[in-house]
A = this chain, B = another copy of it.
Amino acid sequence: MQNFTFHNPTRIIFGEGQIAALDAHVPPDARVLITFGGGSIKSNGVLVQVQAALGDRAWHVFGGIEPNPTYETLMEAVALAREKNIDFLLAVGGGSVIDGTKFIAAALRFDGEPWDILAKQVEVCDAMPFGTVLTLPATGSEMNNGGVISHRAKGDKLPFRSDATYPVFSVLDPVTTYSLPPRQIANGVVDAFVHIVEQYLTYPVDARVQDRFAEGLLITLTEVGPQALAEPHNYAVRANLMWTATLALNGLIGAGVPQDWATHMLGHEITALHGLDHAQTLAIVLPAMLSARRESKRAKLLQYAERVWNITEGSEDERVSAAITATRVFFERMSVGTRLRDYQIGGQSISTLIAKLGEHGMTALGEHGDVTLDVSRQVYQLAV
């Protein structure tokens, strides 16, 4: 096991009806800005529940945070929060709304140009306190301190993280997910699955608990993912999915182990160039990435084959191949295509994708830093 620090102060308030608990967790005299995205929280009744729970508190709303939240939009929220003397933010939505709200919280207490938080990675030492009401199980943003923000004008998409940007609390009510479109559920399952894989499928460091926790989360996703599509109102299924997606990226399973994240980097370029959903790009890249790197990942691929997919027959090579195939089949069972051609993208895009990776400095990715542009090219080719 590698040395690590683990710290996660976010309070999780989990279960049906728990939106009402906001009253106990938002400061009684708070002036609240409710942030949200496209407005589904208005039609599915979540916003009404939130406003009822806030009672007599002063609140304002800021909607329209995009799927890839932009600096431009978020700075409008910063201006509104200042105008209304807001002192508490409440993100109601999925990962984009929560990521965006983390940036709003940081920008409100930042001395200088907030874009520098992203462009220059200036440290965020303070942020306005905020809570979240999660409505989409996927990114884990509800229990971590990171966010990814885009700049519309500059065309950049950059991450930040800070100890100051953990949510104070997150309300996870699985019922809020009943009305999600199947595509968003499917994407969420794939996203969470690949988050886990990026922290697990590297090389062994005898971190037995982290491995078993990761495997437990992966197995749970293979069970509840298809069920979540088939039975949208099955509470137990949605509850297991929601808690699994949160634990997939809250720091726990990644503590003390090597991490990869090359699949995410290659996927980002596909989104940037072709506009695919984040999870779609992960479903395309991961099977190809595992195939390209099957030698350096052999030991963990064999463990993954046995413990997650119950593959114990055949030679080592056969078991590794079977595990990669099982991964692909699972994504396709979730109705997420796993090849570029499933999205009408051909091999002619690859040189552009590689050039962009190079521009962004992504020339030594992965847990060994050996995913060069040549390896990435091979991965994209395997993904055609």
Residues of A at the B interface (CB closer than 8 Å) are 1-18, 206-209, 212-213, 215-217, 219-220, 223-224, 236, 239-240, 243-244, 247, 252, 255-256
Given contacts A213-B213, A219-B212, contact A4 B15 (CB under 8 A): yes
Chain B residues with CB below 8 A from A224, complex form: 208
Please tell me how many copies of the chain the complex holds.
Answer: 2
Given A212-B219, A216-B216, A256-B14; A236-B1 close (CB under 8 Å)? yes
Q: How far is the CA of A2 from the CA of B9 in the complex (A)?
A: 22
Partner of A1, one of B11, B17, B219, B243: B243
Cβ-defined contact, B206 with A240, below 8 A: yes
| A21 and B18 alpha carbons, distance in the complex (Å) | 39
**Taking A9-B9, A216-B215, A216-B216 as contacts, is the C-beta distance between A240 and B209 under 8 angstroms?**
yes
Cα distance A321–B342 in the bound complex, in angstroms? 52
CA distance A18 to B1 in the complex (A): 14
Q: Among B7, B9, B12, B212, which residue has its beta carbon within 8 angstroms of that of A216?
A: B212
**A14 cross-chain contacts in B, Cβ below 8 A:** 1, 3-6, 255-256
- With A207-B240, A209-B217 known as contacts, the answer to whether A17 contacts B5 (CB < 8 A) is no
Give me 16 other A-B pairs in contact (C-beta within 8 A), A15-B256, A209-B243 excluded: A1-B236, A3-B17, A4-B14, A4-B15, A5-B11, A6-B14, A7-B12, A14-B255, A206-B239, A208-B216, A208-B223, A209-B220, A212-B213, A212-B219, A212-B220, A213-B213
